[in-house]
Each structure stands twice: as C-alpha cells, then as structure tokens.
Structure 1
Amino acid sequence: MSISSPLPVVRRADAVNEEIRQLMQRAGGVLRAEDRPAYQRLIDEWTAATARERMLGDMTTAA
C-alpha cells in the first residue's frame, strides 16, 4: 500500500498578490520582523504562480 501526499493548492498570481496587498495594508506599509516569513512565503508563491501562468500562456499561444 502506497501513501501519497496530497497535491499542493495552486493559486493564481492575482489571488496571491491580493494577499500580499492585505498583509502590507495590515502592517501599515512597514513589515515587522514577525511578518517577514509570511511575506517571503507569499513572494515565493507569487513568483512561482506568475512563472506557471506565463508558461501556460505560452503553451496556449503555441497550440
């Protein structure tokens, strides 16, 4: 019997961007030390999402 990991949730770049904006708004535009890990995680997720969307867009255009 094999154990499989659940698939990660893949969010669109605009959804991640909105969460970044909300974080910055709550922080008053200046991140505290405790906000930085969440901000970095969101930036990493946004970067991956934009790359994925760009790649999918290129694949759709090429097809």
Structure 2
Amino acid sequence: MSPTPPPCTGAPVAAADANEAIRRFVRARRGRSWTAEDRAEYARLLEIWTLAARGAVVEAAV
C-alpha cells in the first residue's frame, strides 16, 4: 500500500487521511537519513494536509 494519498482526482482528501499518510511516511523512514526525494515527498504530503485542513476550517465556518 502506498504511504501517500492517491493523486488528486478533484475529490478533496480528508485531513485525517492526509495526516495518516504523513504518519505512515515518517514511520517507514524512522532511523534513516532522508533523501532529497523523501523531503520532496514529505513537502507534498504537508501541502495535501494543509489544503485538507484549510478546507475543513472553511467548511466549518459556512
């Protein structure tokens, strides 16, 4: 199973799902030095989570 959410299909990713993907990603690399690719993937996951969390806040405000 991939540690990352699927590519954007237009459907929003839940913040909890994005957070879990980050946790799986970090756990899989525990105790190892991160490569440039790891850091780029982590940044991508954080962006997904940020968009999901922002969407949840906006939705709650409506």
TM-score by shorter chain over 0.5? yes
Equivalent residues of 1:24, 1:31 under 8 A apart: no
Aligned to 2:30: 28
The structure whose Rg is larger is 1
Aligned to 2:44: 41
Aligned to 2:3: none
Equivalent residues of 1:11, 1:49 under 8 A apart: yes
Unpaired segments of 5 or more residues in structure 2?
A: 1-8
Aligned to 2:13: 11
RMSD: 1.6
Q: Which has the higher helix share?
A: 1
In structure 2, the CA distance between the partners of 1:22 and 1:48, relative to structure 1 (3 Å rule), is same
- Equivalent residue pairs, number: 53
Scaled by the length of structure 1, the TM-score of the pair is 0.73
